Structure 1
Amino acid sequence: MQTVIRTYSGKGAKELFDVLEKRASDVEEMLRSIKGLVSYTLARSGDGGFSVTVCEDKAGVEESVQKAKEWIAKNAGNTGAGAPQISAGSVLVHVK
C-alpha cells in the first residue's frame, strides 16, 4: 500500500477547509471513484488542515493527488489557498 499526506497552510487554507467541510459529500464521492482507494481522512488543523489518503498502489495515490488538485481548482479556487506540501511513501502499518 501507498499513502500521501497533503498539508495546506497559510493564506486561504482555513477558507479552503471551510469549503471542503461544506462540500464533504462531493469530496467523498470524488474520492470513491479512485481505483484502489483504501482509506481517506480529512482533518482541520490550526491554520488549515491536511488529508491522508491510502491506496493499494502508487497509481491510486497519484490519481488522488491529481483529482484533489482538479477539484480544488474547480470548487475552491477562489479561496486563494496555495499548493499543498505533499509527503508520500509506502505504508508500513495500517490499522483499521
Structure 2
Amino acid sequence: MSEGTSALLWVAAAVFLVATVAGAIVLVVKLVRTRRLLASTDLPMSKKLLFWGAIAYLVFPVDLLPDPVLIDDLGVLLLALRSLNKAVPEGVARRAGRRDHRK
C-alpha cells in the first residue's frame, strides 16, 4: 500500500470517527430532553418500550455490525426517539418544556 493510500485511509477513518462522535453527542442531547416525556402517562406504552428496547440494543454486546462501528446502534436509537417524539400529544410537549416536539 502506498503512502498516499494509507494517508487517505487515515483521513477517511478520522472523518468517520468524528461523524460518529457528533451523532452520539446529538443523541445524548435528545435523550436528556426525552427523559421528561418518558414519565408522561399520555404516551403509549408501546412507544416507551420501543425506546427502552433501543437503549438495550445500544448496551448489549450483540450487534448487527461489530462494536467499534456504532452506526447501527445510533440508527436504532434515532429511530426510537423519532417514533417516541411523533407519538407525543401537543399538551405533553408543552409540559415537558419543548416548543416544537415534531423536530
Between Structure 1 and Structure 2, which shows a larger proportion of helix residues?
A: 2
Q: What's the TM-score once normalised by structure 1's chain length?
A: 0.39
**Structure ID, larger Rg:** 2
Q: What's the TM-score once normalised by structure 2's chain length?
A: 0.37
